[in-house]
């Protein structure tokens, strides 16, 4: 069984392993990164951290979720339309009356 990187790090912290021991396990499992002794992740610039690792404070107002798409819509009657939402990408099918009948993840 292959451990996920987060599991390796979390288990290592919980059991009191040193950063070097955790890094060795990460390398053995194929990770292309390592932990810095100060606890940060090596190899990432401040700009990359800002762009990829700092979560937004709140979700943008214009985001549509699956429940927004999966509702009665006479304009979509008899169609299958591919939509992308935070939950994933789906093909949603509406019946002839405009009622959604299924959503298949693609």
pLDDT at position 98: 92
Is 58 a domain residue? no
Q: In this structure, is residue 88 part of a structural domain?
A: yes
Closest CA to 84 of 106, 58, 62, 101: 106
> According to the model, what pLDDT value does residue 53 have?
55
The segments of the chain whose pLDDT lies below 50 read 1
Strands 100-105 and 88-94: antiparallel
Question: How many independent structural domains does the chain possess?
Answer: 2
The whole-number pLDDT of residue 36 equals 74
Same domain, 48 and 84: no
pLDDT at 86 (0 to 100)? 85
3-class SS string, 28-40: HCCCCCCECCCCC
Domain of residue 96, residue span? 66-105
pTM here is: 0.44
């Amino acid at each position: 069984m292959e451990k996920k990187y987060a599991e390796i790090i979390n288990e290592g912290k919980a059991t009191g392993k040193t950063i070097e021991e955790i890094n060795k396990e990460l390398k053995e499992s194929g990770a292309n990164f390592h932990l810095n002794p100060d606890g940060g992740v090596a190899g990432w610039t401040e700009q990359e951290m800002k762009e990829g690792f700092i979560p937004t404070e709140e979700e943008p107002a214009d985001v549509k979720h699956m429940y927004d798409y999966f509702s009665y819509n006479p304009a979509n009657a008899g169609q299958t339309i591919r939509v992308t939402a935070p939950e994933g990408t789906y093909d949603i099918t509406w019946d002839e009356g405009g009622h959604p009948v299924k959503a298949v993840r693609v």
